Amino acid sequence: MSLSFTHETLPQRVVFGSVASLADEVARLGSRPFLIASERTRVALPHAVRHTEVVMHVPVEVAARARAAAAENDVDVLVSVGGGSAVGLAKAVALTSGLPIVAVPTTYAGSEVTPIWGMTENGRKTTGADPRVLPRTVLYDATLTASLPVDLAVASGLNALAHAVEAMWAPRTDPVNRAFALEGIHYLRAGLPILDSFKGRQETLLGAHFAAVAFASAGSGLHHKICHALGGMANLPHAQTHAVVLPHVLALNAPAVSDRLAQAFGAASAVEGLHDVYEEIGAPRSLRELGLSEEDIPPVVDAVLEAVPPGNPVPVTAANLTALLRRAWAGEDPQ
């Protein structure tokens, strides 16, 4: 079989080790840092202007206030410390200012390695891709994830797993990012069951990085389109929503999924392998428990159908999408 594909490697400095080097990494890019981190974040950065209004799904009005604060203080480098919401806000500022970002993840969200931004307005989440929002430097320190509550750590790790699984069939998938995805699944499968240990957190963080690199290249597939609609329209928590939806999208696409995905999970099938992980770590299973009402399902279906990416392995219809969301809402077996 002949191969023909175009793969683009994104330019980024990745430092895996200790947050103690943060000041040095920031100094490589600027001297007047704007630190975006929630009030409970303990990472310090001398002489930084600190901005603590970090909100899930980045409402446009929150982005506007952060942009204004950055401009008023004449900063020249953005520093995000936190999960996807913190780096998402930094991206919103970078989108209009062009300022470089140093990202320090404290979850397994993966947003730190993608050029994808997202903001919410009037119940609708809009996303896009722009090279200006790709963090120039990412500093990983597994000790920073130790304070995550267990349920949030599990959900965040499964969000990372969703990046890897979906990269196997996403619109721009190719052999390079599928290799990253499979390596990501390997580390996530090993790390997620032992998140109470430093080894588990470190392996999960490394797996999340590989998964996000694959996702950044392969693009956003059906799973992410569903989760973006749920997050924007129903304001559901990001990581938990991804964790609940993933098994259902995998079950839908399972007939067309490569055997290599099953091998990465060490199971007879990808669906069975993912199920084993969920059983082992006590994963969330129901959109109803996250706050979605049954009446919200039809408008979410309509929104997703408008955004279904080309090339999904299985045709997506109103009927099978509704059935998928109803099973996810009720917490039923994906199959």
Q: What is the CATH number of the domain that holds 319?
A: 1.20.1090.10
**pLDDT above 70 coverage of the chain, percent:** 99
15 phi/psi in degrees, rounded to 5 = -115, 115
Does the pTM surpass 0.95? The reply is no
The mean pLDDT of 53-62, rounded to a whole number, is 93
107 phi/psi in degrees, rounded to 5 = -130, -170
Report pLDDT for 165.
94
* 2 within some domain: no
Name the pLDDT band for 57 (thresholds 50, 70, 90): confident
Please state which of the ranges 2-6, 91-95, 273-277, 316-320 shows the lowest mean pLDDT: 2-6
The mean pLDDT of 115-130, rounded to a whole number, is 88
Name the pLDDT band for 66 (thresholds 50, 70, 90): very high
What single letter denotes the amino acid at residue 120? T
Is pLDDT above 60 for 1? no
Name the pLDDT band for 2 (thresholds 50, 70, 90): low
Which DSSP state fits 59? Answer: B
Alpha helix ranges (H) inside 167-197: 175-191
The mean pLDDT of 294-313, rounded to a whole number, is 93
Is 297:256 a contact under the CB 8 Å cutoff?
no
Clarify whether residues 52 and 192 are in a common domain.
Answer: no
138 phi/psi in degrees, rounded to 5 = -120, 130
The residue out of 145, 161, 193 marking a domain boundary is 145
Kind and range of the H or E element at 116? strand 116-121
Model pLDDT for residues 142-171, shown as the tens digit of each residue: 999 998 998 889 999 999 999 999 999 999
Clarify whether residues 279 and 156 are in a common domain.
Answer: yes
CA dihedral over 199, 203, 208, 209, signed as positive or negative: positive
> What's the token pair of residue 272?
């069975």
**Residue at token pair 């597939």:** 221
The mean pLDDT of 8-33, rounded to a whole number, is 94
Q: Of 259, 281, 278, give the one whose Cα is nearest residue 270.
A: 259
Q: Of 115, 127, 107, give the one whose Cα is nearest residue 218.
A: 115
* 180 within some domain: yes
Is pLDDT above 60 for 23? yes
Burial class for 71, CB neighbours closer than 10 Å (0-12, 13-18, 19+): middle
Clarify whether residues 51 and 168 are in a common domain.
Answer: no
Clarify whether residues 82 and 101 are in a common domain.
Answer: yes
The residue out of 126, 145, 164 marking a domain boundary is 145
The residue out of 85, 110, 145 marking a domain boundary is 145
User: What range defines the domain where residue 238 resides?
Assistant: 150-330
